[in-house]
């Protein structure tokens, strides 16, 4: 539940019974929440990726509201460990917590997070389900990401890009060692391509029965013709160096490396018609957050149409506010129709494990 302390003297009571000395912030007018946020003056956001760039981009929020945003260094696993470790504390260090949509099922979302957030001014335009996860309204998507194929237009023209899985198979055979994807243990782009292969080679009946043999046969029969890299970054580095013409990649990862000058800006990205996984991350307010009002105002800003357009243009994220429009940094909107949902959590784990066992380790 969202709560605001009446005064400092209530702290002793709060430590033992938080709800007895608190009123429900969700019932306050939004203007009062904003004023309280300004009084709190700070918000701590635990976000595990692209931290230096986010620290730059949140300056717009800081200037607008006079609220300082702190983004500590940390990994995804490290942040989640801290989040869980301090869950029983009366007040934690985390005001806003980022979680991958595919990880939502691992948390008791209604216990760990304050909410629901349905009183946010723009809630109707936001997503609470993403990447196979459902926040049940306790968190909202702020970052959409998309897997697809990155390519070098000096090596292959747009009109020649493979679109169906059959076309990709023929292209791989005709252009050996020109296509690559990464080990799924080294990043999600590889896992996404493996899932795409499963969806396109395995019948619906076999998929329902968790029989993926047709997919493993496809990988084995083409193993001499495709490249296999160590990680998401390794794929893009080798594409950039001219070793490959097409690689499985994340849209936002490619854009981020291009922004930093690590990958040439000539490299392009597309979602093939055979479909590639689209995912994303959510933000929520931990139930024991110290600066709840500031957290709410920050989340409202982060998920606003204007901020979403900025993140898309500057960092290559996929839009997750229905009012946001492409700001020039995204792929053509019609390609978004080829984005696919992640298979269920249990099935995704099975596919990843079997791919390593039956394809990677058997060669």
* Reported pTM: 0.79
280 in Cβ contact with 141 (< 8 Å): yes
Domains 3-144+279-315 and 146-277+332-360 equal at CATH topology level: yes
Q: Report pLDDT for 2.
A: 57
Question: Taking 80 as the threshold, does the pLDDT of residue 8 lie above it?
Answer: no
Taken in order 233, 237, 243, 246, is the CA torsion positive or negative?
positive
Section 25-49 average pLDDT:
96
Where is pLDDT greater, at 6 or 189? Answer: 189
Domain locations along the chain: 3-144+279-315, 146-277+332-360
Q: Which of 3.40.1160.10, 2.60.130.10, 3.30.70.270, 3.40.190.10 is the CATH number of 3-144+279-315?
A: 3.40.190.10
Determine the Cα–Cα distance for residues 84 and 329; give it in Å rounded to an integer: 36
How high is the pLDDT of residue 330?
57
**Predicted local confidence at residue 15, as pLDDT:** 31
Per-residue pLDDT reduced to its tens digit, 260-290: 899 999 999 999 999 999 999 999 999 999 9
Alpha-helical segments (H) within the chain: 11-16, 30-40, 51-57, 59-65, 76-85, 109-112, 165-174, 188-201, 204-208, 213-221, 232-240, 251-259, 292-302, 305-315, 345-355
Query: 52 near 314, Cβ under 8 Å?
Result: no
Q: Whole-angstrom Cα distance, residue 151 to residue 67?
A: 41
Contact 184, 190 (CB under 8 A): yes
Residue 243 sits at φ, ψ, to 5 deg, of -70, -40
**Assigned superfamily of 146-277+332-360:** Periplasmic binding protein-like II (3.40.190.10)
pLDDT score of 56 more than 50: yes
pLDDT of 22 higher than 70: no
The per-residue pLDDT for 259 is 84
Residue 11 scores a pLDDT above 70: no
Mean pLDDT to the nearest integer, 209-219: 97
Q: Mean per-residue pLDDT for 66-95?
A: 95
Mean per-residue pLDDT of the chain: 90
Burial of residue 347 (CB within 10 Å: 0-12, 13-18, 19+) is middle
For the cut 50, the answer to whether the pLDDT of residue 249 exceeds it is yes
pLDDT tier at 344, thresholds 50, 70, 90:
confident
Rounded Cα gap, residues 163 and 36, in angstroms: 52
**CA proximity to 14, closest of 288, 292, 295, 284:** 288
Nearest to 254 by CA among 227, 233, 279: 233
> What pLDDT does residue 362 have?
80
């Amino acid at each position: 539940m969202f709560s605001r302390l009446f005064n400092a003297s209530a702290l002793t009571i709060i430590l033992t019974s938080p709800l007895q000395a608190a009123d429900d912030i969700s019932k306050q007018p939004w203007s009062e929440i904003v004023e309280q946020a300004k009084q709190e003056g700070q918000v701590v956001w635990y976000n595990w990726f692209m931290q230096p760039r986010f620290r730059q981009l949140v300056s717009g929020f800081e200037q607008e509201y006079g609220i300082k945003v702190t983004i500590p260094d940390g990994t995804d696993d490290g942040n989640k460990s801290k989040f869980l470790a301090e869950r029983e504390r009366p007040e934690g260090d985390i005001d806003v917590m980022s979680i991958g949509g595919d990880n939502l099922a691992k948390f008791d979302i209604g216990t760990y997070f304050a909410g629901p957030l349905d009183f946010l001014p723009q809630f109707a335009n936001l997503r609470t389900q993403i990447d196979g996860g459902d926040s049940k309204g306790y968190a909202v998507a702020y970052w959409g990401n998309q897997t697809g194929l990155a390519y070098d237009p000096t090596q292959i023209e747009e009109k020649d890009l493979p679109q169906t899985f059959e076309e990709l198979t023929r292209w791989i055979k005709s252009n050996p060692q020109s296509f690559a994807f990464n080990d799924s243990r080294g990043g999600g782009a590889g896992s996404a391509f493996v899932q795409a292969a499963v969806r396109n080679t395995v019948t619906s009946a076999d998929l329902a029965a968790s029989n993926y043999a047709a997919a493993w046969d496809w990988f084995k029969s083409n193993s001499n013709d495709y490249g296999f890299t160590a990680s998401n970054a390794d794929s893009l580095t080798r594409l950039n160096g001219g070793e490959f013409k097409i690689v499985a990649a994340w849209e936002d990862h490619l854009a981020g490396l291009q922004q930093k000058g690590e990958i040439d800006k000539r490299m392009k990205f597309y979602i093939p018609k055979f479909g590639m996984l689209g995912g994303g991350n959510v933000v929520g307010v931990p139930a024991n957050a110290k600066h709840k009002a500031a957290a709410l105002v920050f989340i409202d800003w982060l998920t606003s149409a204007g901020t979403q357009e900025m993140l898309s243009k500057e960092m290559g994220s996929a839009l997750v506010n229905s009012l946001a429009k492409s700001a020039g940094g995204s792929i053509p909107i019609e390609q978004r129709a080829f984005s696919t949902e992640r298979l269920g959590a249990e099935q995704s784990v099975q596919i990843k494990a079997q791919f390593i066992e039956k394809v990677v380790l058997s060669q």
